[in-house]
Amino acid sequence: MTDRADIWIEELDPPFVRMGHSVWPWQTATRISRRAAALGRNYSRGWHCAYCGELMPEWKRIDAKYCKEGCRKMAARKRRERKIG
């Protein structure tokens, strides 16, 4: 089982998102709802990719800054270029 299927986010008019999660046994539900609460805090602050500005996918780590590996790499490349230029 992956986290990807546990929680889903639907983007409404910014800054609002709708969040749901599927029904699980108590222990799993506790874990998911903790994660959902953390996600909720992130989204309420505006959790967007630091590179492309897309809303972060709900399955990303709570402390993730980029929506995908490509964005992380591009951001790293940009930082290096800025140092040289």
Binding site for Zn ion (CB under 5 A): 49, 51-52, 54, 67, 71
Work out how close the CB of 69 gets to Zn ion at its nearest, in angstroms, rounded to a whole number: 10
3-state secondary structure of 64: coil
Number of CB atoms found within 10 A of residue 54's CB: 13
Work out how close the CB of 3 gets to Zn ion at its nearest, in angstroms, rounded to a whole number: 19
Q: State the Rg of the chain over Cα.
A: 15
Number of CB atoms found within 10 A of residue 64's CB: 16
Nearer Cβ to Zn ion, position 29 or 71? 71
Work out how close the CB of 45 gets to Zn ion at its nearest, in angstroms, rounded to a whole number: 17
